[in-house]
Amino acid sequence: MNTLSPSQLLEALQWRYATKVFDPQKKIPAATWEALSQSLVLSPSSYGLQPYRILVVGNATTRQQLLPHSWGQRQVVDASHLLVFAARTSMTEAEIDAFVNRIAEVRGIAISALADYRGMMIGDVVQGPRSAVAGEWAARQAYIALGNLLTSAALLGVDACPMEGLIPQEYDKVLGLSGTGYVTVVAATLGYRMAADKYASLPKVRFPVSHLIKSV
């Protein structure tokens, strides 16, 4: 595996910022988008369950409908790609069984060999204490995928903006999520910055390592 140097990684992370003004004429190339899609697939999640779905909103009319529910932020209509992360509201044995079947298929093992793992997952997220906060747990898993996407985009030279400035319930209505078992938790826009975006040239404001990271 080819690896980046530490300086190359930090350069990409310094370059990225929450892009406010996207060039509506510049679209993400198909090969780049495919890599970003796979970065979402490869994101880690608790147990590997991926209790979320990612909606890629390409329809221009739908994006316009989402604009007033996005605090008027034009990223949702101007960016090349708009992604909406929708998390499970609860977990059932059906979701666990689908994942167990997928493990058996990919790794070429018998489903019966995964009985203990299946039981552990059910005992935790379906029947255990975590089941009472399954929606919050699923949302946290979605945020892991979002973070992975932002870093992957930066490494590929794609601008991105994570967006919590939206009204989830209205997104759910526009996107037809009501009654599906999923709810909107966060969105992200991807594409390429406009030179006129003043935020691109502003220094990053972060606390130093000594403030943020403590050795214990």
> Which residue carries 């209505």 as its tokens?
173
Q: 140-175: b or e for each residue (b if 16 or more CB lie within 10 Å)?
A: bbbbebbebbbebbbbbebbbbbbeebebeebbebb
Which structure tokens are listed for 143? Answer: 């945020």
Supply the pLDDT for residue 152.
98
Supply the pLDDT for residue 35.
98
Classify domain 18-212 by CATH architecture. Answer: 3-Layer(aba) Sandwich (3.40)
Structural domain spans, the chain: 18-212
Residue 22: which of 202, 207, 195 has the closest Cα? 195
51 CB burial (10 A radius; 0-12, 13-18, 19+): buried
Distance of CA 158 to the CA centre of its chain: 15
Distance of CA 15 to the CA centre of its chain: 20
Supply the pLDDT for residue 96.
98
Q: How far, in Å, CA of 118 to CA of 160, rounded? A: 37
Query: Which residues, in sequence order, are bridge partners of residue 85?
Result: 54, 186
Q: State the sign of the Cα–Cα–Cα–Cα dihedral 40, 42, 45, 50.
A: positive
Kindly give the confidence (pLDDT) of every residue in the chain, 216 residues in length, as a single tens digit, with 9 standing for 90 and above: 999 999 999 999 999 999 999 999 999 999 999 999 999 999 999 999 999 999 999 999 999 999 999 999 999 999 999 999 999 999 999 999 999 999 999 999 999 999 999 999 999 999 999 999 999 999 999 999 999 999 999 999 999 999 999 999 999 999 999 999 999 999 999 999 999 999 999 999 999 999 999 999
Supply the pLDDT for residue 202.
95
Identity of residue 103: I
CB distance 84 to 187 below 8 Å? yes
Identity of residue 112: S
**Residues in CB range of 197: below 8 A, 6 or more apart:** 19, 20, 21
Count CA atoms closer than 13 A to 51's CA, side-chain side: 29
